[in-house]
Structure 1
């Protein structure tokens, strides 16, 4: 494959309103040639891909979804910088603006702003099928004459019109439009001309954008900001008010054009979406339905994943036993059978449940229901200082806290953004799912309660506990942190549709792949390190134990050898480096019902919560009978406290552990992202101390309640 070189690549940005189909078009154009990075100097993700036709190569940049080019959040600042060539990537060659065919008035606010920047552009009018259903007929040629840029009708969901977009790009049929609005009438004197000359802009609107964004764009130097202020008659911050005048004038002109270019035919609507929303968005029934949906999902996760999980568990148990029987005794065989195989098993066993969870979420997203969930949850969030755009990061946190925290970049209010960042890790992410599943499976009977599995109810309870903790933490922070104004929340409620099964299956595959290759690398690495630390210890102590064991074996009958081997395997584990570490922290965690082996898992799972199961599996495999094909669940279920004779993983200990993991900051990657988003170690440090302290207290109360 020919290497892409900068001289052969044309840069094209795709921009549009949220939920307009922009990402679907981007994905179909670029396929698997995508990469994610960061815009220089900020934390917003930058998604780019490549499209090639013949000898021509195009770099496609997927800009954050936005309703306009106004400085309300970091996303809008990025769109402004890229479109105006202020980003380190240089100037664009063209822009694809994706419009909503059912709401051209709103979409054209952004579209006409892009036109006035003087960049060659083309408009993609998406969702044409919905426009037809609503009786909207668009006179394409009339609209082209009014706007002066190429127009393409598409339905990205069904891949209709994508070939036309490819032909448009490969033929470079973009056009520069004439100025849509004379913005220099809103600014006094020749300020825009001075800005154009100073910074090399081509159009007055570029200068206008630079002016109104200058108070928000942190990448603008203080020297340039001072220069701009010297040529203004009032503070630079006040020029944001000019946008109200600009927006009103822009909408007036847009509406006058659409009156001539759109024919609206009244259609007899079945009002299916409105009828369903009366129930799904009901202030009482809507929440009850959502809880029922989540309960069914958890029920299915347990029921449908049980068979493949048992099969995986038994396969790895058999594989570990087979290796110990067929490979020559030694360090390498022990590493494979006691370290690597249990470690990999601790990863793979949860693929069915991870795939099912994300499959269900993708299903709900594609039907349009998840937008309703966000809308419903917004009502609950407001009293806790989390109204508006805070809802989206918290919902994302159910999958993973990291993208949830990164999603707070769209929140313009500093206080609400910080509160959301600090409480998002309390939403039960998918990394906690393996911990919950294994502990619930050990201690909660698989019995029905009014036709619903008790295990599913327990899992739902853990997720609800995370939500309660999140809201409680937000309420406290809302009183502690100083008020810095309020933000707003705006979202689209799309019509209900049948899900695209291909998209659901791709989501299941990609999320499972991410879990295996991202979390799996950490889990496997820690499993190997654990085996080394658990297999070796201080030389003198380990040698003394070995000699003591040999002497005892020599002086005992053959039928007593197995119990002696098990006894000294346990002693060797306690005397190993990992045993010494575990014993060191045992006094601190003993009030929670944890022994030193569980303490080791708590430490290692700081790298990633899901490491807990693999750690436990590795620890309980080391020094055991390698020919015994016990599964992970069976090993944990048979573990007994030598002092009390009771099971280690009884109800009190298991519930205490689940509560601890529900509230503790057991994720190193999340802390790194919090630091990156807040630009300070103060907040991740406080987050770790408070969350872990609260987790300890909650786990202590739980253990004593169930003891």
Structure 2
């Protein structure tokens, strides 16, 4: 098979690397994981002209080859080992030209790998606005690499960068010349050569990295790690001292070159950012603005998405009517309408809300606000045993707990990282949106407040705040229980405020919504089919007996034709396999006000929370096949067959809401927590205390209100 030419995209955090990746690859990209870890890996393709496309890997941002987080370790792991599956043929190094003196350390280290390198000077549009002058040819000659001025925001210079990449792929660019920025001391040189012999194809500098990071590099065996440890001791190699000496030597040599070929920006360049930060990071006004932004997000999710949601709902209703009118009556038509369409309709209707959520969060990240939120809440977070970076995970948890848990890899303190992982699932994720949307209508009336706010939207935000309070409370408890000698600190670069790149926002929304629909859709489809089978069939003769008994009861009670049909449908599904499954756990959930149908939904929800709505849609479609109402309207009409009272009254609906606010109902999150903590101990503790809190909260609410 022909070799696929691979280019690595590397750079510091906040250098605009992701924007450039989107410009190069567009929608020709996918997200995966690096082997053996849960670190995200974005891979895209760049058309080559003749020959196969060029593979582009967007590596995590890192400041140097001496990592302080798991994300940064992945870069070292891949580039120190030429045998790694992700080892590139060439490197595009992205640097923010407005902060070039801080961004060149990693470039000089990359130079020592001996790979072809192109320096992409990003943010050139901002540099022009600031009046910053760049001698591109002089800088290229001084650094010994081709330089391509670009703008990830506007796309300026992109064709020149693509041409440079294609030139490397076509063999028109050789290996980088020997780096003039670092001279290894003789004892270290001997150690590096010995380490390089262990890994086929490794050069001397890679040998130094292997010796330095030998304790955690996964491609080294235990015997190799011991051998390198002995050699390092003989050479008098002290890792921290060697790191400091190398770093200082590199800075001493490249900083004068930067000053020679790039002029200083004007003094007023960051005036706008400074003025904004005086308000947005203010001790009082900062949290007020943050709270206002969050209120806007939740108002948009609940109120503004109603129109497209109504259209989707109507579309599925018409599709169900068309199927019933087109196909002959029988199990095929029932499966499509009551199983597939009911289940998928119950989740796809919430696409507008998911899209709005990701759109607004992506905007906040693009303009540089999320870094400020981390800085602003660091002191508050530490009082609860968390870290300023925890705010990124907690806010990301509003989209999905899985990437939020993985984002904790940037937290260096073990205790703070573990606590953040354990409490992040309390934050209401996008999977809870369908449940909240359906149930809030039974608890809060759709009234306007102050003429602009929707009362249900405010209640929606209240549920999120309840999750936040639970997360902080649980964090404080874990802070008292868990002990560590590590000291906490927050080191964070605050990017300049910039206009959002709508292309990046659009790609982010597209990727997240597509992933949500694909992942949730597959689960919903499978569970809907299984539920339809379980709810349509039962033990031989049981459903028929239940139907006969319901007919007699309806005649005796003098029920109308519609009420009689509803009673018969309810008795049939109660006698089905699904009904028996729900009945088996009904004694446990009855004190919460939940019936056996809710029990089925709670069981299936442990696959993913959003399955609740699809489950109820499937159950109620089967229970009353003649109704074409949406799941919310159908649930509102549900009555207790004995008392005739609404099933989803205030006590039951509130109890169900509280259960879903606190319960750990996502097996994917449990799996990710296990992988991140490398133990089943912590996810089991997490699952137990969250489920217990959910049960007790629902129990208290129902018993008090009823």
Deviation string for 1:614-665 (max 9, x for gaps)? 11122122231x3333222211111123344432212222222122111111
Output the TM-score relative to the length of structure 1. Answer: 0.93
C-alpha distance 371-82 of structure 1, shift in aligned 2 (>3 A): same
Q: 1:693 to 1:212 in 2, by over 3 A?
A: same
Looking at structure 2, the residues matched to 382 and 551 of structure 1 have their Cα atoms a distance apart, in angstroms, of: 66
Correspondence 1:76-91 to 2 at 5 A: 76-89=72-85, 91=87
Give 2:487's aligned residue.
486
Residue in 2 that maps onto 1:640: 639
Select 2:38's aligned residue among 38, 43, 47: 43
> Residue in 1 aligned with 2:659?
660
Cα separation, 2, equivalents of 1:281 and 1:627: 57
Structure 1 distance, partners of 2:468, 2:345, is 30
Instruction: Indicate how the Cα distance of structure 1 residues 105 and 476 shifts in structure 2: closer, same or farther if over 3 A, else same.
Output: same
- Counterparts of 1:373 and 1:533 in 2: how far apart (Å)? 48
Shift of 1:212: 1.2
| Structure-1 residue corresponding to 2:393 | 393
Distance of aligned partners of 1:319 and 1:47 in 2 relative to their CA distance in 1, 3 Å threshold: closer
Give the aligned partner of residue 692 of structure 1: 691
Between stretches 642-651 and 456-465, larger displacement belongs to 642-651
What does 1:250-399 correspond to in 2, within 5 Å?
250-264=250-264, 266-269=266-269, 271-399=271-399
Shift of 1:296: 2.0
Q: For 1:148, which of 144, 147, 160 is the aligned residue? A: 144
Q: How does 1:8-157 map to 2 (within 5 A)?
A: 9-57=4-52, 58-89=54-85, 91-157=87-153
Provide the rounded CA distance (Å) in 2 between the counterparts of 1:205 and 1:313: 60
Residues 27-49 of structure 1: per-residue CA shift (max 9 Å, x gap): 22233332333333333233322
With over 3 angstroms needed to count, the CA separation of the structure-2 counterparts of 1:270 and 1:489, relative to structure 1, is closer
Change (3 A) 1:542 1:101: same
CA contact (8 A) 1:122 1:175 kept: no
| Closer, same or farther: CA 203–341 of 1 in aligned 2, 3 Å | closer
Between the aligned partners of 1:186 and 1:106, the Cα distance in structure 2 is: 28
Report the CA distance shift for 1:470/1:237 in structure 2 as closer, same or farther (over 3 A): farther
SS state of the match for residue 99, structure 1? strand
Q: What's the CA shift for 1:558?
A: 10
Range with greater deviation from structure 2 (145-154 or 191-200):
191-200
What's 1:457 paired with?
A: 458
1:472 paired residue number:
473
Hey, what does 1:589 align to over in structure 2?
589
SS at match of 2:483: coil
1:422 aligned residue? 422
Structure 1 residue 200, shift from structure 2 partner: 5.0
Higher mean displacement: 438-447 or 236-245: 236-245
CA-to-aligned-CA distance 1:118-156 (integer Å, 9 cap, x gap) = 222121111112223333212222222221111111111
Matched residues in 1 for 2:188 and 2:167: separation? 41
Q: CA deviation at 1:687?
A: 1.7
Matches for 1:573-584 after TM superposition, within 5 Å:
573-584=573-584
Q: Distance between the aligned counterparts of 1:370 and 1:182, measured in 2?
A: 36
Aligned residue in 1 for 2:542: 541
User: What's the CA shift for 1:75?
Assistant: 2.3
For 2:18 and 2:414, locate their aligned partners in 1 and report how far apart those are by CA, in whole Å.
28
**Residue in 1 aligned with 2:158?**
162
- 1:442 corresponds to which residue? 442
Partner Cα distance (2:546, 2:421) in 1: 50
- Greater displacement, 626-635 / 354-363: 626-635
Report SS of the residue matched to 2:647.
Answer: coil
Q: What are the Cα deviations for residues 404-460 of structure 1, in whole angstroms up to 9, with x where unaligned? A: 112223333333322222222111111011111111123211112333221111111
Residues 389 and 295 of structure 1, relative CA distance in 2, 3 Å threshold: closer
1:183 Cα offset (Å): 4.3
Deviation of residue 582 (structure 1)?
1.0
Of 573-582 and 180-189, the range deviating more from structure 2: 180-189
Taking the aligned partners of 2:291 and 2:424, their CA distance within structure 1 comes to 20
Deviations 1:323-357 (A, max 9, x none): 44553222222222322221121022111211222
> 1:110, 1:506 → 2: CA distance?
28
- Answer yes or no: is the 8 Å Cα contact 1:71–1:213 preserved in 2: no
Q: Indicate the residue corresponding to 2:233 in structure 1.
A: 233
| Matched-pair contact (CA < 8 Å) for 1:419–1:478 | yes
Quote the offset at 1:396 in angstroms.
Answer: 1.7
Go from structure 1 to structure 2 and tell me whether the alpha carbon gap of 1:188 and 1:15 turns closer, same or farther (over 3 Å shift). closer
Alpha-carbon contact 1:355-1:508 (below 8 Å) kept: yes
**Which 10-residue stretch deviates more, 123-132 or 555-564?**
555-564
Cα distance, 1:188–1:310 mapped onto 2, change above 3 Å = closer
Structure 2: state its 5+ residue gaps: none
Kept in 1, the 8 Å contact 2:373–2:391? The answer is no
Following superposition, the deviation at residue 233 of structure 1 comes to 2.6
After TM superposition, give the deviation of residue 496 of structure 1 in Å: 2.8
Q: Deviations over 1:64-101 (max 9, x none)?
A: 10011103222222211322334532753221111110
TM-superposed CA distance for 1:383, in Å, is 1.7
Q: In 2 relative to 1, CA 520–203 (structure 1 residues): closer, same or farther, beyond 3 Å?
A: closer
Report what 1:405 is aligned to: 405
Query: Residues 126 and 154 of structure 1 are in contact (CA less than 8 Å); yes or no, is this contact kept in structure 2?
Result: yes
Residues 279, 286 of structure 1: 8 Å contact kept = yes
Seen in structure 2, the aligned counterparts of structure 1 residues 537 and 413 have a Cα distance that, compared at 3 Å, is: same
Aligned match of 1:681:
680
Greater alpha carbon shift after TM alignment, 405-414 vs 391-400: 405-414
Maintained 8 Å contact 2:302/2:460:
no
Matches of 1:249 and 1:557, distance apart in 2: 92
Give the RMSD, CA atoms, in angstroms: 2.6
Map of 1:176 onto structure 2: 176
Aligned to 2:515: 514
Partner secondary structure for residue 12 of structure 1: strand
Q: Name the count of aligned residue pairs.
A: 700
* Partner Cα separation in structure 1 for residue 190 and residue 365 of structure 2: 50
Rate the CA distance shift 1:564–1:236 in 2: closer, same or farther, 3 A: farther
Shift in alpha-carbon separation, 1:669–1:236, aligned structure 2, 3 A:
farther
